[in-house]
Amino acid sequence: MLTNRQLFLLNTAQTSPAPRGLEIDHAEGLFLYDTSGRRYMDLVSGFAVSNLGHRHPKVISAIKNQLDKYLHVTVYGEYVQAPQVRFAEKLVSVLPDTLNAVYFVNSGAEATEGALKLAKKHTGRTGILAFRNAYHGSTHGALSVMGNAYYKAGFGPLLPDVGFLTFNDPADLEKIGVKTACVIVETIQGEAGVRVPDTAYMQALRKKCSETGTLLILDEIQTGFGRTGNLFGFEHFGIVPDILLLAKGLGGGMPIGAFIADKTVMDSLKDNPILGHITTFGGHPVSCAAGLATLEILLDEELMEPVARMEQLFREKLQHHKIKEMRGKGLMLAVQLSSFDEVYGVSKFAEENGLIVDWFLHCETALRIAPPLIISEEEIRRACAIILEALDRLPTG
């Protein structure tokens, strides 16, 4: 009889030649447990999904309560479903006044797709500007605004009329003009290796978009829901987007995404033609119940308050001559090393010693540090000790 690992390689679509292959039996809080009972501290949070940790009791309770009522009942937008309504109401209550209409979808990539369509429909323009080294998902439209040609090879032609700017370069903002429907940008570039922009730059970007009638789409798929120490990353920069993208941490571990805009903008999808964006499972009632519980936990349990202190502790403890730089904000950090070989060596040693770290799609020479917000100071010290030992063991030269 074949093992689960053998069946995984045989029957499950693969995304790389060498998947990690850990077989997870269960997860709780900060930790993953494999089928042998071995425990791993999760410093990746399922790639910024499990901001509350794995299986937060209140999220599980919300899921179970909704399971007893109904699952899928119809395509999104047709019936009044309390989990969607209540979650949207709560989201709008913590957002600026101009972000008051929520369209729930299945994922971050679909949020990107919906936002690009919305921007073109509302403005009547076709031009899209994105950023080099950006990542907004891997579906066709999202791939078009990915800022790395390597991942586009073999999938063209992609969306026309897409151009690219250099992140944090004010001179490039002159490319934004009256033919530009939207600029789509990560508030903090994630897969580029956690690149934090200057506040002045973000404010200049906002100003240029306003002057040209261009919609500013902020991708908060990784930065949203407390990861940076604020509920939303844009709060650090004193700006408000025209369209906001959320996913990952939005559902407390359940699949859900959203694009959010002013209702006067969102209503562009209602007619000419009707059904401007359609999704069968978007805003699934179980995912929305989990999302509402997640947001309430973040607000009620003050999980964001210690994030800046936790960031500082990582910075203090991760001091080593092989670390070239630490970048990031809150618990969204990149530890810059010299090569992928070093990153892989640290990652492999860490996994062997019960710690999960990873690297970035567009920056494989840096370690990803993005633990659940519930991590304790003692757990940070333990994690850093493993990373430092891994660095000590790397070959010299």
pLDDT digit string, tens, across residues 387-397: 999 999 999 86
Distance CA 382, CA 387 (A): 9
Per-residue confidence (pLDDT) for residue 390, from 0 to 100: 98
DSSP states of 32-96 as a string?
EEETT--EEEESSHHHHT-TT-BT-HHHHHHHHHHHTT-S--SSTTSS--HHHHHHHHHHHHTS-
DSSP states of 278-301 as a string?
--SSTT-HHHHHHHHHHHHHHHHT
pLDDT digit string, tens, across residues 200-233: 999 999 999 999 999 999 999 999 999 999 999 9
Q: What are residue 62's phi and psi, to 5 degrees?
A: -65, -40
Per-residue confidence (pLDDT) for residue 6, from 0 to 100: 78
Please give the model's pTM, rounded to 2 decimal places: 0.96
Look at strands 127-131 and 180-186 and give their pairing.
parallel
Distance CA 159, CA 237 (A): 30
Which residues of the chain are modeled with pLDDT < 50?
none
Structure tokens at 89: 């109401």
Domains in the chain, start-ordered, CATH in brackets?
19-51+306-393 (3.90.1150.10), 58-300 (3.40.640.10)
Structure tokens at 78: 């047709």
Q: Show the CA angle centred on residue 148, arms to residues 146 and 153, nearest 5°.
A: 95
The rounded mean pLDDT for the chain is 96
Per-residue confidence (pLDDT) for residue 397, from 0 to 100: 63
Q: Which segments of 229-334 does DSSP mark as H helices, in order?
A: 263-266, 285-300, 307-317
